[in-house]
Every structure is written in C-alpha cells, then in structure tokens.
Amino acid sequence: MKPGLLIIGEITPRMAEAFAASFSCYYLDQIADIDQFLATDGLSVQAMTTSGHDGVPDEILDRLTAVKIISNYGVGYDAINVDKAVSKDIIVTHTPDVLNEEVATTALMLLMAVCRELLVNDRYIREGNWSKKGNTPLSRAVDGMAVGLLGYGRIGQAIAAKLEAFSCDVSYHARTERENSPHRYYPDLVSMAQDVTALIVITPGGASTNHLVTDEVMEALGPDGILVNVARGSVVDEDALVAALTDGRLGAAGLDVFAAEPHVPEVLFTMDNVVLTPHIGSATIETRQAMGDLTVENLVRYFSEGKVTTPVPECKHLVS
Ligand code: A2R
C-alpha cells in the first residue's frame, strides 16, 4: 500500500505525476470536510508537501499523527512550525541551492529596473510621449554601484557573484563574518546602509529576522538609496518603508515580497520609483522544475531508503 501524502498549496503537473506514482495523494484544497478526513483517510497520511508560502497549519500538524516527513517546495520554510515538527520527530526538508541563481537574477533584475527606470521608460513609449515630448530624464548606473547585502548565504553569495560582473563594490551584513570572503563585512547593518547606494535583502524570514530593516536603516540609505527585497516581506518594516518612500527619505525600491501577500499597500502603485513583482524570485519553468524534482526526491528517498537529500538544519539529528 502506498503511503498517504497530503499536498498543501500549488504544485506542478510534473510533481503531481511523480507523487501519484509513489503515494496516495490528498489535496488539502479539495477536502470538503477536514474533520471527516482527519478521522478517515488522514490516518494513513505519513507525509506532507507544502510551499514556502502556504506552510502547514498548526492544527494539521497536531492532528495528523502518523506524519513522519514534510517536504517543503522552496528554500524558505518560515511558514512551517519547525520546532513543533521536530518535537514530534518529523523530518522537514527544503530545496536549497537549486534556486540560487534564479533568485539572484531576480534581485539584479529589480535593481536594474529601478535604476534604469525600465517601467517608466516603457510606459513613456506606450503612451506616445517619445515623439511628442522627446527623451526621458537620465537614470542611474548599476555599474560600479556600492551594494550591500543583508544576508550572505547561498543566495546572497550568488547575488554578490553576479554583481561582480557589473564591477559593483559589494559588502554584506549577517550575524557572522565569512572567512576568506572578498567582500567587506559590516557587523552593523545601519553602518552598511550608510555606506551603500543599494541594499539587497536576502535572509530567511521568521521571528529572528522580523523587521531587521527598520526606519533607521532606510534613513541611513537615504533619499538616493535603493532597497531591494527578494527575501520575505517580514524582514522589512513595511509601514516604515511606505512612509520613507512617501516622504522621500528613501529614494526607490524593488520589491518581490510583501508583509501580507498577496496584499500590497496600494500607495506603492502610485510611485514611479518603485518596481513591484508578485513573489517571482524562483518562478521560472527551469528553476521550479529543479525545485519540484528535489521536493519529490526527498519524499521518495525517505520511503524507499530511509534517507533524505536536503533536510533543514534544525532536524539534521533526525536523519541518518
Ligand atoms: O546570520 P548568519 O551568519 O547565520 O547569516 C545568514 C543570514 N541571516 C541573518 N543575517 C542577519 N541577521 C539575522 N538575524 C540573520 N539570520 C540569518 O542570512 C546567512 O548569511 C543568510 C541566510 O543564508 P542561507 O541560510 O544560505 O539561505 P539562502 O539559501 O541564501 O536563502 C535565504 C532566503 C530563504 O530563506 C528565503 O526566505 C529566500 O531567501 O528565498
């Protein structure tokens, strides 16, 4: 008998096909009566898969008592209560590394779109202004820019490598300094924000990084400063961000993530100095395929070999 798998959130057809080959699949959004499910088919559910956005509701985690593993389709797993899962000896896996380049490219795309005013210029032509009013004002160069990274892990270092191609002066802030890094380490985030033109946020979400980017950090970036967030909306104090952009105390922003997705503060819609994308950091066909394959691999390996490929650090002691 195939083990039961509860699928939470959106997955690709390729993932659905692979899961169906190894598991009895139950889709949370197709379950009409959750209490009835938990008392019947739910008893056979030994695995769950979810996305970084959807996570696992605590109630499900508490009531699906046969679950042994949760495979997260994404690198960020702040929407899963990992402490609770680990206390129940449930292994949690995620998809590190396979999305590094894509998220790094998204960060650079936002930085470039903001600096070169891509959307303003595009609209200018579409509205027929070029022939009527002539050229648009000059924009800002990315090449040679001083850029600070908040977070210097797998993705942060991929961003740094791409910025090198633009001869940017790269520095970073994290809790710990990396040995042998070619980039300058700032133990203090505000000091780094004072010294750079653009700050790119690429830490995990969750309580420990909540509102790391404060009003003070944005003040330090200043009226010519640019904030790019490809991490989690929770890392930036969004009310302070909106206020700083409104007052001109912060120059511009490129935002892929928001505090309460899919809600985005509407005042941002009116700002030409802001570029908005709907959490598309890793959302290409190629990268989502690699992430999906790893999400499947973790589950299939667990049930066939008793091993997983990419456990989250908090549950390494649970895996052999
Ligand atoms: O602080 P450290 O030395 O552990 O460095 C990590 C940094 N970080 C922080 N920096 C400052 N204050 C904090 N409270 C803090 N917490 C973590 O974030 C490290 O440099 C970086 C995380 O790197 P990785 O664990 O390799 O994550 P990865 O794969 O780069 O992904 C980052 C996030 C995901 O969790 C998703 O939320 C998003 O990017 O896609």
27 pLDDT higher than 80: yes
* Residue 29: DSSP 8-state: G
Across the range 229-247, mean pLDDT stands at 98
Across the range 120-145, mean pLDDT stands at 98
Q: What percent of the chain has pLDDT over 90?
A: 99
Q: Answer whether 93's CB lies under 8 Å from 298's CB.
A: yes
Across the range 69-89, mean pLDDT stands at 97
Beta strand 184-185 with 91-93 is unpaired
Does any ligand 1 atom lie closer than 6 A to the CB of residue 158? no
Report the atom number in ligand 1 closest to the C-alpha of 178.
3
Would you call 178 a catalytic residue per the annotation? no
Q: Which of 53, 188, 203 to mutate to test the pocket of ligand 1 (most atoms within 8 A of CB)?
A: 203
Tell me the C-alpha distance between 101 and 229, whole Å. 16
Q: Where does residue 159 rank: exposed (0-12), middle (13-18), buried (19+ CB within 10 A)? A: buried
Q: Where does residue 310 rank: exposed (0-12), middle (13-18), buried (19+ CB within 10 A)? A: middle
85 pLDDT higher than 90: yes
Q: What is the pTM of this model?
A: 0.97
Closest CA to 11 of 46, 42, 54, 45: 54
Does any ligand 1 atom lie closer than 6 A to the CB of residue 231? yes
Across the range 41-57, mean pLDDT stands at 95
Q: Which one of the listed residues 261, 297, 301, 314 is annotated catalytic?
A: 261
Q: Which one of the listed residues 94, 173, 183, 279 is annotated catalytic?
A: 279
Mean pLDDT of the chain: 97
Residue 2: CA atoms inside 13 Å, Cβ hemisphere, count?
14
260 pLDDT higher than 80: yes
108 pLDDT higher than 80: yes
270 pLDDT higher than 90: yes
Tell me the C-alpha distance between 71 and 259, whole Å. 24
Does any ligand 1 atom lie closer than 6 A to the CB of residue 204? yes
CA 119 / ligand 1 centre spacing (Å):
30
Q: Which residues pair with 205 in a beta bridge?
A: none
Does any ligand 1 atom lie closer than 6 A to the CB of residue 205? yes
Residue 320 is predicted with a pLDDT of 77
162 pLDDT higher than 80: yes
CA 193 / ligand 1 centre spacing (Å):
18
Does any ligand 1 atom lie closer than 6 A to the CB of residue 157? no
Taking only the tens place, the pLDDT of each residue in 172-212 is 999 999 999 999 999 999 999 999 999 999 999 999 999 99
Would you call 279 a catalytic residue per the annotation? yes
Does any ligand 1 atom lie closer than 6 A to the CB of residue 53? no
Across the range 13-30, mean pLDDT stands at 98
Does any ligand 1 atom lie closer than 6 A to the CB of residue 76? yes
Across the range 67-87, mean pLDDT stands at 97
User: Which residues contact residue 57 at a Cβ distance below 8 angstroms, ignoring those fewer than 6 apart?
Assistant: none
Residue 277 is predicted with a pLDDT of 98
Would you call 14 a catalytic residue per the annotation? no
